[in-house]
């Protein structure tokens, strides 16, 4: 880890000093133990703030998109001959590169506007699992040593295996190493367990209709509509989100329960063939809503129906962006 | 909604059908001028193409009180815009699976193809859809309770 972190800082310094990027999006220490926060490094003097550790949870592709778009908007006010491009460097593990690929496929920016510093990934610690491991007590220290973690609370130290508290997305991640990169730091990470990727979905599919509905309604009932899940998601980038649209108004803003159900249902459906299962939405949710059980179904269907996994390569377009005469149509109703 | 009470013997399903201008709507027209009888439970909404049907329309219709939703367009290969119905087919195969996954009855949302010459088939489809939705009873899931 330390070795990767040092290499990362060196590469970042070089890129900034050589003027190859204007900014590097990476992770820095957070304000609490066992946390990191996204950071934006613009000068090589700050590159030592970059960290790489099991607490790097957020998918940074979101920030890449936002920086480029904010810059482009600002350029609209500049004279054409004075317009500049902003080159963004980004620290990217597997799922981040998948999101970058998706954004590129959806023509959100050009490949030339990106410098991808690929990092091998062994999964990030899910905050909720960490809190549970600490017995709900306030965590005052977190020290990683190899594949273990020592968590310090007022009640003393506890020693946990990292792999027991990584995010569910990471446990079954298929692409934990970067898919595309300009520079790679560190050696490729060992594979996770993608064989179990759809187990939970299959289990859910086999429940009865009423059980499934009860679970969906129950999870949506927890949602306080803070929209953190949307804001964290690199695939959610519409300038005007359907949630805030009022001509027509799709979703009521009150407490009516189906408004929440419909909001979540539609936000998730927008992820059909586009969710890279980075788990950022789940990680930021303050209410612990289980979004992944549902998102993963779309992923499974995208694969089973259209042999596609979001962001798996630059060539393979999201399934709802393309179509074929030979698509399956068993679902089409034919009257007797 | 008082009329959505299953115990109410007079309950009749409300079905919203999003249909393509070039095929199914013309098919419905043909059924009409040929005086073919079909149940009056369906409200047709004419759109330029089945590809124009936003999955949101289907979900919103359910939320706003439709007991069933039908989407119908031109047969594959016969789209006025060449491939609108093919992209509709992809969208709706995933939408239907997803609705079913969260526990909405599969027979609440139906998708089909009816061409301009299939007045007879149009009447059959409407009859079939109405029967299916009737068998399910009034919609309860995703249905808005108050505004
Ligand atoms: S989902 Fe995969 S690439 Fe993303 S953080 Fe987890 S293990 Fe790493
Ligand atoms: S929906 Fe969640 S898991 Fe999927 S890409 Fe967005 S943030 Fe990541
Ligand atoms: S982050 Fe959680 S609580 Fe907030 S809107 Fe999303 S699901 Fe609801």
Q: How far apart are CA A23 and CA B80, in angstroms?
A: 48
Do the Cβ atoms of A242 and B56 come within 8 Å? yes
Q: Given this model, what pLDDT does residue B147 score?
A: 65
| Minimal CA separation from B103 to chain A, in Å | 4
Q: Which residue stretches of chain A have pLDDT < 70?
A: 1
Proportion of chain B above pLDDT 90, given as a percent: 90
Give the nearest ligand 3 atom to A227 CA. Answer: 5
> Which burial class, exposed, middle or buried, applies to B54 when counting CB atoms under 10 A from its CB (0-12, 13-18, 19+)?
middle
Q: Give φ, ψ of A179 to 5 degrees.
A: -85, -40
Q: Is A167 in the pocket of ligand 2 (CB under 6 A)?
A: no
Q: Is A54 in the pocket of ligand 2 (CB under 6 A)?
A: no
Q: How many CB pairs under 8 A join A and B?
A: 121
- Radius of gyration for chain B, computed over Cα atoms and rounded to the nearest angstrom: 15
Q: Enter the ipTM.
A: 0.94
Give the nearest ligand 1 atom to A170 CA. Answer: 6
Proportion of chain B above pLDDT 70, given as a percent: 94
Q: Which of A265, A325, A333 sits opposite B111 (nearest CB)?
A: A333
Q: What is the pLDDT of residues B40-91, one digit of tens each?
A: 999 999 999 999 999 999 999 999 999 999 999 999 999 999 999 999 999 9
Do the Cβ atoms of A212 and B102 come within 8 Å? yes
Report, as an integer, the average pLDDT of B120-129: 95
CA-wise closest residue to B20 among B50, B63, B56: B50
| Minimal CA separation from A208 to chain B, in Å | 8
At A251, list the tokens.
């979703």
| Minimal CA separation from A277 to chain B, in Å | 17
A5, A31, A41, A235, A296 from A105: Cα distances, Å: 30, 36, 26, 12, 21
CA-wise closest residue to B61 among B76, B49, B47: B47
Ligand 2 mean position to A280 CA, how many Å? 6
Residues of B in contact with A213 (CB under 8 A): 102-104, 141
Q: Is the pLDDT of residue B1 over 50?
A: no
Do the Cβ atoms of A333 and B77 come within 8 Å? no
Q: Is the pLDDT of residue B16 over 60?
A: yes
Q: How far apart are CA B103 and CA A214, in angstroms?
A: 8
Do the Cβ atoms of B145 and A294 come within 8 Å? no
Residue B47: beta bridge partners? B20
Non-local (6+) Cβ contacts of A330 within 8 A are: none
Indicate which residue's Cα is closest to atom 8 of ligand 2: A278
**Which pLDDT band holds residue B4 (cuts at 50, 70, 90)?**
low
Q: How far apart are CA A308 and CA A306, in angstroms?
A: 5
Residues of A in contact with B86 (CB under 8 A): 323-325, 327
B17, B23, B39, B103: best mutation site toward chain A, by most A Cβ within 10 Å? Answer: B103
Residue A143: beta bridge partners? A150
Ligand 1 mean position to B80 CA, how many Å? 44
Ligand 3 mean position to A257 CA, how many Å? 14
Q: Is the pLDDT of residue B6 over 80?
A: no
Q: In what order do the strands lie in the sheet with B42-47?
A: B42-47, B15-20, B68-73, B109-113
Residue A328, CB-side half-sphere exposure with 13 Å CA sphere: 13
Indicate which residue's Cα is closest to atom 1 of ligand 2: A275
Whether the CB-CB separation of B44 and B19 falls below 8 Å is answered with yes
For a ligand 3 pocket test, name from A220, A224, A282, A284 the mutation site with the most ligand atoms within 8 angstroms of its C-beta.
A224
Q: Given this model, what pLDDT does residue B145 score?
A: 86
Whether the CB-CB separation of B23 and B78 falls below 8 Å is answered with yes
Q: Given this model, what pLDDT does residue B7 score?
A: 60
């Amino acid at each position: 880890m330390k070795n990767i972190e040092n290499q990362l800082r060196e590469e970042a310094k070089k890129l900034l000093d050589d003027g190859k990027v204007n900014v590097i999006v990476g992770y820095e220490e957070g304000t609490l133990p066992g946390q990191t926060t996204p950071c934006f490094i613009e000068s090589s003097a700050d590159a030592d703030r970059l960290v790489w550790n099991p607490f790097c949870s957020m998918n940074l592709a979101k920030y890449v998109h936002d920086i480029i778009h904010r810059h482009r908007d600002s350029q609209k006010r500049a004279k054409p001959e004075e317009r500049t491009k902003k080159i963004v460097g980004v620290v990217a593990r597997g799922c981040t590169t998948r999101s970058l690929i998706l954004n590129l496929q959806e023509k959100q920016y050009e490949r030339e506007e990106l410098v991808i510093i690929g990092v091998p990934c062994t999964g990030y610690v899910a905050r909720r699992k960490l809190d549970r491991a600490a017995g709900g007590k306030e965590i005052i220290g977190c020290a990683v040593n190899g594949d273990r973690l020592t968590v310090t609370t007022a009640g003393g130290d506890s020693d946990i295996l990292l792999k027991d508290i990584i995010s569910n997305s990471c446990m079954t991640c298929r692409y934990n190493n970067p898919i595309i990169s300009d520079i790679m730091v560190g050696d490729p990470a060992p594979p996770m367990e993608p064989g179990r990727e759809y187990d939970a979905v299959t289990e859910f599919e086999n429940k009865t209709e009423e059980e499934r509905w009860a679970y969906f309604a129950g999870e949506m009932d927890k949602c306080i509509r803070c929209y953190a899940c949307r804001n964290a998601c690199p695939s959610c980038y519409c300038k005007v989100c359907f949630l805030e649209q009022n001509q027509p108004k799709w979703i009521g803003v009150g407490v009516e329960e189906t408004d929440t159900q419909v909001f979540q249902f539609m936000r998730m459906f927008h992820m059909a063939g586009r969710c890279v299962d980075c788990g950022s939405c789940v990680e930021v949710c303050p209410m612990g809503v289980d979004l992944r059980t549902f998102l993963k179904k779309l992923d499974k269907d995208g694969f089973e129906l259209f042999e596609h996994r979001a962001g798996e390569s630059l060539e393979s377009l999201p399934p709802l962006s393309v179509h074929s005469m030979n698509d399956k149509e068993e679902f089409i109703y034919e009257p007797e | 909604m008082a009329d959505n009470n299953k115990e109410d013997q007079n309950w009749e399903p409300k079905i919203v059908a999003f249909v393509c201008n070039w095929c199914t709507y013309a098919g419905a027209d043909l059924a009409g001028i040929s005086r073919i009888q079909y149940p009056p439970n369906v409200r047709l909404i004419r759109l330029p193409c089945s590809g124009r049907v936003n999955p949101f329309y289907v979900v919103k219709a359910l939320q706003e009180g439709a007991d069933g939703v039908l989407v119908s367009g031109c047969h594959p290969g016969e789209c006025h815009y060449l491939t609108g119905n093919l992209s509709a087919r992809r969208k709706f195969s995933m939408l239907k699976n997803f609705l079913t996954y969260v526990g909405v009855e599969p027979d609440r949302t139906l998708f089909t193809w009816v061409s301009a010459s299939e007045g007879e088939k149009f009447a059959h489809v409407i009859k079939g859809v109405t029967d299916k939705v009737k068998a399910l009873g009034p919609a309860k899931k995703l249905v808005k309770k108050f505004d």
